Amino acid sequence: MAGNKTLTMIKPDAVKKNAIGGILKMINDAGFTIHAMKYTQLTKAQAELFYEVHKERPFYGELTEFMSSGPIVAAILEKDNAVEDFRKLIGATNPAEAAEGTIRKIYASSIGENAVHGSDSDENAKIEGDFHFSACERF
C-alpha cells in the first residue's frame, strides 16, 4: 500500500519570487495537510548530504550551490498516496515539459531552479523527512 507522507522543499528561487503563499495554497487545495514545516537555510554541506544520490551527476555542484543559496520552506505533507499525487501536482523536473496547472509550470524558471522538491518514493520520503524534522516537530 502506498504511504501517506511526502517531503517537499519550496526552493530558494520560489522563496525569492515571494511564491511561498501561492505554492502552499496549491498544496492545501490539492488535499495535502501539513505534518511538519519550517523556514530554514541549508548549508552547502547539508545540501550535499540531502542530494548525495546525485553526487555523480554533472549538475551536482550547481544544484547544491543553488539549494544552499537562500532560505527554503521544508515540509512533510500528508495525504493518501502522497508521493505519487504530489509528483503529479508539481509536474516534470523541467518546467518546459511540466503540465499546465502544475506548480513547476506556474512557478519554476528552469530545470535547475524549479521551485519545489517532492520525494520520489515512500522510502525516500521517510529518509528526507527524518533529514529535516525531529519527532517533536511533527503534529
Residue 109 as a binder of ligand GDP (CB under 6 A): the answer is no
Q: Is 117 a catalytic residue?
A: yes
Binding window for ligand GDP (CB under 6 A); candidates: 16-24, 27-35, 42-50, 109-117: 109-117
Q: Cell 526552493 belongs to which residue? A: 11
In the complex, minimum distance from the CB of residue 45 to ligand GDP, in angstroms, rounded to a whole number: 17
Q: Of 8-37, which residues contact ligand GDP (CB under 6 A)?
A: none
Residue 114 as a binder of ligand GDP (CB under 6 A): the answer is yes
SS (H, E, C) 7-65: EEEECHHHHHCCCHHHHHHHHHHCCCEEEEEEEECCCHHHHHHHCHHHCCCCCHHHHHH
Compute how many residues bind ligand GDP; rule: CB under 6 A.
9
